[in-house]
């Protein structure tokens, strides 16, 4: 705000000086034919020189203020982009941890434990969706990619809702089995119930999340992350080049 106010002040001063300069020139022209007004003529010439210097100074100050304002805006946008990249990476890594744990133990208990983390990842992405910076035309591809990631995570809610009763039952069975192992000793085989995705409803989300790496990399979540990351890094590089 200070930079903008200084810029406006410089412009106003410049306009006032220009107006006084025009009036002075007009007075000089009007009295230049009278030999008795040489002193006043010289004073007016001096005033014109002073006013010219003021106009130049005001113009330079205005340009500097404009450059400072644009630099400050550029720094603010760069900081917003860096924060956006951090949130994007955080949301992806949060989902990646869930993927690792579910691939290691695809059970109802593990899914229930990771479900809040999946929702946390989606919440981060939804905050990014609402960020004003994603309304910029230059980041339209990033916004579309983030929307694709959010849509993918909705599959977790559909799966949890459709299979809630079975998940609770499976989680209790696993807890019972773990208690048995603790009571009877760890030499007994661990017989934990595994989720059978072919027998569950709305299981596509979990099937993709726990798939092999080559399949996971074709998912909407991974492709969305890759596209959004590239778009944000492109704009960060552009802003750094502009700021210098």
229 pLDDT higher than 90:
yes
Tens of pLDDT along 158-175? 999 999 999 999 999 888
1 pLDDT higher than 50:
no
Tens of pLDDT along 59-99? 777 777 777 777 778 888 999 999 999 999 999 999 999 99
Better-scored residue on pLDDT, 169 or 10: 169
**Full residue range of the structural domain in which residue 152 is found:** 2-243
Number of compact structural domains in the chain: 1
Beta-carbon contacts of 62 under 8 Å, excluding residues fewer than 6 positions away, are 7, 10, 11, 14
170: left (phi over 0), alpha (psi -120 to 50) or beta: alpha
Better-scored residue on pLDDT, 86 or 187: 86
Tens of pLDDT along 89-135? 999 999 999 999 999 999 999 999 999 999 999 999 999 999 989 98
Residue 218 DSSP one-character state? T
């Amino acid at each position: 705000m200070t930079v903008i106010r200084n810029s406006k002040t410089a412009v106003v001063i410049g306009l006032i000086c220009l107006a006084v300069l025009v009036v002075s020139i007009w007075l000089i022209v009007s009295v230049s034919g009278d030999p008795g007004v040489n002193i006043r003529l010289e004073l007016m010439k001096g005033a014109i020189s002073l006013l010219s210097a003021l106009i130049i100074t005001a113009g330079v100050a205005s340009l500097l203020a404009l450059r400072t304002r644009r630099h400050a805006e550029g720094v603010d946008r760069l900081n917003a982009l860096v924060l956006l990249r951090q949130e994007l990476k955080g949301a992806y890594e949060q989902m990646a941890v869930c993927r690792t744990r579910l691939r290691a133990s695809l059970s109802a208990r593990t899914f229930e434990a990771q479900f809040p983390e999946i929702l946390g990842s989606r919440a981060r992405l939804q905050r990014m969706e609402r960020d004003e910076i994603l309304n910029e035309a230059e980041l339209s591809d990033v916004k579309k990619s983030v929307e694709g990631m959010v849509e993918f995570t909705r599959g977790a809610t559909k799966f949890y809702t459709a299979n809630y009763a079975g998940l609770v039952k499976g989680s209790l069975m696993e807890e019972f089995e773990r208690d048995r192992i603790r009571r009877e000793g760890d030499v007994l085989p661990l017989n934990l119930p595994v989720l059978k995705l072919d027998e569950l409803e709305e299981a596509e989300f979990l099937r993709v999340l726990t798939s092999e790496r080559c399949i996971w990399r074709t998912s909407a979540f991974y492709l969305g992350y890759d596209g959004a990351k590239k778009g944000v890094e492109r704009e960060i590089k552009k802003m750094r080049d502009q700021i210098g």
